[in-house]
A = this chain, B = another copy of it.
Amino acid sequence: MQWNNKLTALLDISYPIIQAPMLGITTPEMVAAISNYGGLGSLPVGNIDPVNVRALIQQTKTLTSKPFAVNLFTYDIPIAPDNSSFDAMQAHLQTTYTRSGLGVPTVDLKTLELFSYKDILPILLEENIPIVSFTFGIPDTQSLDQLKARNVIMIGTATSLEEAVQLEQKGIHIIVAQGMEAGGHRGTFLPGAFPQIGTMALVPQIVDRVGVPVIAAGGIMDGRGVAAALMLGASGVQPGSAFLLTKESMASEAHKAAIAAATDTTTRYTRAFSGRWARGLSNTLIASVEESELSILPYPYQDALTQPARKASKALDNPSFVAMWAGQAAGMAKKGVNTTDVLKALVEGAEQLIPSLKGQS
């Protein structure tokens, strides 16, 4: 049994449900579970170094023979911040770590190894990845041409109508409409005021404007959210928080407990972890950066600077310095279940609300 619409046809999947790429949460096991069940798994490779990207892709391939997407952070590395801003932020953070009894190695701006999507794209092409999704913008013309030449299906992320229009104009095949409810990094890439459009308002406006399939993201936690998104005109959905507490999630136990206790009002936007806006739960690191009133470094410098603390904190199962990304309905996530169970509940919940979905074959 499968549902049938322009998105399932284009991606050759049974259910138009894409697991959101969640860097630091998503494992090859999660990706494979989704794709094996008939959804589309997304392996996030963000700013991971090329050697590890290849290893993650190959590991996922051992777990599924079905297609999965790889998600790139499509940013160019900006000019390095000046030493004094970097040092001030690092000194402040080290004071916070010490006060919390956390030993964190310092980061040397001069020897920092940073990667952009242009370093990672060749690996995706070598590994014959059939579907690539983008967060933070549109790849440059050369990259787009390489992807198009290999018939790679491209999924872009829009947080506003104008971003969706620009993605379609560049030949992107599918657009994720990321509502402001969504957890994790905003995909925003156009300059100007930071768009915060709710899923209910964003999806139909994008659907009415572009000709390509639209995927709804933000606030979708169960079959009700899937059905609602389809009613709004979306061809599919991209839930993320629904998978945060699964057995395949990389989140530590304390991190999972914090998500399980979340309510509608406990998430907020912050730039403290990475330099880019993202939605998650408050903790010591966010409070420290924001109270300092220091300039937050541009992405990926702030991200590189907070990375060792996230790692050290996670190793101790203490989420005070971990980026606990979560959407506005993350508290609805089921705990201790398999990824497949969550996907099954999304599918069957929607079929119960829209019986005609089940009849499609």
Within 8 A of B (CB), among A75-98: none
A214 within 8 A of B: no
Q: Given A198-B218, A229-B228, A231-B353, is A204 in contact with B332 using a C-beta cutoff of 8 Å?
A: yes
A244 within 8 A of B: no
Contacting pair A228 B232 (CB below 8 A): yes
Within 8 A of B (CB), among A225-242: 225, 227-229, 231-233
Contacting pair B229 A197 (CB below 8 A): no
Contacting pair A197 B221 (CB below 8 A): no
Contacting pair B197 A199 (CB below 8 A): no
How distant is the Cα of A199 from the Cα of B203 in the complex, in angstroms? 12
Within 8 A of B (CB), among A204-232: 204-205, 208, 218-222, 224-225, 227-229, 231-232
**Neighbouring B residues of A328 by C-beta, 8 Å:** 197-198, 201-202
Contacting pair B200 A218 (CB below 8 A): yes
A329 within 8 A of B: yes
A contact patch SS: loop
Contacting pair B265 A160 (CB below 8 A): yes
**Neighbouring B residues of A263 by C-beta, 8 Å:** 161-162, 205
How distant is the Cα of A18 from the Cα of B154 in the complex, in angstroms? 41
A248 within 8 A of B: no
Give, as a whole number of angstroms, the nearest-CB distance from A151 to chain B: 32
The 8 Å CB contact of A329, one of B201, B220, B222, is B201
A193 within 8 A of B: yes
Closest B residue, CB atoms, query A180: B198
Contacting pair A201 B224 (CB below 8 A): no
**Neighbouring B residues of A205 by C-beta, 8 Å:** 263-264, 329, 331-332
Contacting pair B224 A161 (CB below 8 A): no
The 8 Å CB contact of A228, one of B231, B265, B332, is B231
**Neighbouring B residues of A225 by C-beta, 8 Å:** 200, 204, 232
**Neighbouring B residues of A229 by C-beta, 8 Å:** 200, 228
* Sampled A-B contacts (21; CB under 8 Å): A160-B264, A160-B265, A161-B264, A162-B263, A179-B198, A180-B198, A181-B197, A195-B264, A198-B198, A198-B200, A198-B219, A199-B200, A200-B200, A200-B225, A201-B218, A201-B329, A202-B328, A204-B222, A204-B332, A205-B332, A208-B332
Give me 16 other A-B pairs in contact (C-beta within 8 A), A199-B219, A200-B228 excluded: A161-B264, A193-B265, A195-B265, A197-B264, A197-B328, A198-B199, A198-B200, A198-B328, A200-B225, A202-B328, A204-B329, A205-B331, A205-B332, A208-B332, A227-B231, A231-B353
- Nearest first, the 4 A-B pairs at minimum CB distance are A200-B219, A198-B198, A201-B219, A201-B328
